[in-house]
Homo-oligomer: A and B are copies of this chain.
């Protein structure tokens, strides 16, 4: 019930926020940056309490590192806000304009989605990034961060709501949830919340997807493949395989399975195996692979597994189409790459593979909002609708159809006394 009230308040605020001017939103972002700077001691003190509690609870070292929010992290999020201020306002863009008849003009204009629910990992910087992205795009937001960071998150949310509301943004646009039970409640509130963005483990994201009627933007698995075609350059294929697997193993766009055309397996696999072993990668291979290099036997389960670790599965395929079939069966629609010098093979791979990101002669690790130049990133989506692959600000937008008329009624067009012109306009919407 409590959460329903918060969601209702967010929904109410979202309407005024959607109508807020660029100037007001940017002024609010400036005040947030300024207050984060002047109140950094409070933030760091709260974070110290979180770090102490987590140390007592024996939180793993990598998570402790992500939880830490010090002066340099505060400088980073402030720099992020400055760059967000300099971006154009994504709201109010005229996407199309059509004259339906004299004095009857149709416009499609970008607008915020409404209320976004975001569930994110233990990094407190995520709270600042997500909430300021929502503010810039005119969306209200309900946030649930990692429980280890609850003291830090509480101070950050308080600073952001205080500063933005002081600047004139409607109160209630940012809401902080604190428990798992809060999240459970949130998942039911489809009348108030328009989109859920869950960031975290496969199991967690899948749970959210299976337990809410609200649309979900994100990805559960990241089972990405490197396909080494018959016409691949061997050194390039080895380099791309090693980077895709090893450059950062714990992320969704790291490769988990290597597919190799049978005609080049004899040449490519020993070279690749040597480099992978230098990086301490365990290789699990199909029977044909085992006939060429020394591997642990792969099982059906391996093709379905996102290792997120120094492990790779290898399968020899008989053709490009065989590789595509494997990818479309076992892949998660995230990132797939082909290494080939053959344009026709590349074209066929690109058009047949069903994934958000399909690459030719580069590492799978490039699928990322920063590398794509999208500026801020909301997340990576394996959805088939709305937004796919790395999602920037535009993933937080939808559009309205607006008609400016002068008293027209449909009866006149039905009777044939008036006719539609359907003429493309290149004007922007203004009243």
Among all A-B residue pairs, the 5 with the closest Cβ atoms? A362-B405, A243-B409, A373-B422, A19-B351, A365-B410
Binding site for B on A (CB under 8 A): 14-16, 18-19, 98, 100, 104, 106, 113-114, 194-195, 209-210, 213, 215, 217, 233, 236, 239-240, 242-243, 247-248, 324, 328, 343-344, 346-348, 350-352, 354-363, 365-367, 371-373, 383-386, 388-390, 398-411, 413-414, 420, 422, 431
For A367, list chain B residues within 8 Å (CB): 401
Q: Are B350 and A407 in contact (CB under 8 A)?
A: no
The distance in angstroms between the C-alpha atoms of A399 and B355, with both chains bound, is 9
Per a CB cutoff under 8 Å, which of B194, B210, B344, B402 touches A358? Answer: B402
For A410, list chain B residues within 8 Å (CB): 243, 247-248, 363, 365-366, 371
Q: How far is the CB of A96 from chain B (nearest CB, A)?
A: 10
For A405, list chain B residues within 8 Å (CB): 359-362, 366
| A195 (CB) vs chain B CBs: closest residue | B385
With A403-B357, A404-B361, A409-B363 as known contacts, state yes or no: A384 contacts B371, CB within 8 Å.
no
12 contacts between A and B (CB under 8 A): A14-B354, A113-B385, A247-B414, A355-B400, A360-B405, A362-B405, A362-B407, A366-B410, A371-B413, A373-B420, A386-B386, A388-B398
The distance in angstroms between the C-alpha atoms of A14 and B384, with both chains bound, is 13
* Most-contacted residue by chain B among A346, A354, A390 (CB, 10 A): A354
| A413 (CB) vs chain B CBs: closest residue | B371
Q: How far is the CB of A105 from chain B (nearest CB, A)?
A: 10
Q: How far is the CB of A407 from chain B (nearest CB, A)?
A: 4
The distance in angstroms between the C-alpha atoms of A384 and B214, with both chains bound, is 10
- The number of times this chain is found in the oligomer is 2
The distance in angstroms between the C-alpha atoms of A411 and B373, with both chains bound, is 17
The distance in angstroms between the C-alpha atoms of A157 and B172, with both chains bound, is 52
With A19-B348, A362-B409, A406-B361 as known contacts, state yes or no: A114 contacts B384, CB within 8 Å.
yes
Per a CB cutoff under 8 Å, which of B15, B100, B352 touches A352? Answer: B15
With A100-B373, A104-B362, A404-B360 as known contacts, state yes or no: A385 contacts B385, CB within 8 Å.
yes
Per a CB cutoff under 8 Å, which of B346, B352, B373, B420 touches A371? Answer: B420
| A412 (CB) vs chain B CBs: closest residue | B243
For A194, list chain B residues within 8 Å (CB): 384-385
With A347-B431, A400-B356, A405-B362 as known contacts, state yes or no: A385 contacts B215, CB within 8 Å.
yes
| A14 (CB) vs chain B CBs: closest residue | B354
For A239, list chain B residues within 8 Å (CB): 407, 409
For A385, list chain B residues within 8 Å (CB): 113, 194-195, 215, 217, 385-386, 398
Q: Are B209 and A401 in contact (CB under 8 A)?
A: no
| A364 (CB) vs chain B CBs: closest residue | B410
For A408, list chain B residues within 8 Å (CB): 361-363, 366
Q: Are A356 and B388 in contact (CB under 8 A)?
A: no
The distance in angstroms between the C-alpha atoms of A346 and B404, with both chains bound, is 9
Q: How far is the CB of A249 from chain B (nearest CB, A)?
A: 12
The distance in angstroms between the C-alpha atoms of A215 and B217, with both chains bound, is 11
The distance in angstroms between the C-alpha atoms of A210 and B236, with both chains bound, is 49
The distance in angstroms between the C-alpha atoms of A410 and B398, with both chains bound, is 32
Q: Are A388 and B401 in contact (CB under 8 A)?
A: yes
| A395 (CB) vs chain B CBs: closest residue | B385
Q: Are A388 and B399 in contact (CB under 8 A)?
A: yes
For A236, list chain B residues within 8 Å (CB): 407
Per a CB cutoff under 8 Å, which of B247, B352, B359, B402 touches A360? Answer: B402
Q: How far is the CB of A227 from chain B (nearest CB, A)?
A: 14
The distance in angstroms between the C-alpha atoms of A352 and B18, with both chains bound, is 7
* Most-contacted residue by chain B among A16, A351, A365 (CB, 10 A): A351
For A356, list chain B residues within 8 Å (CB): 400-401
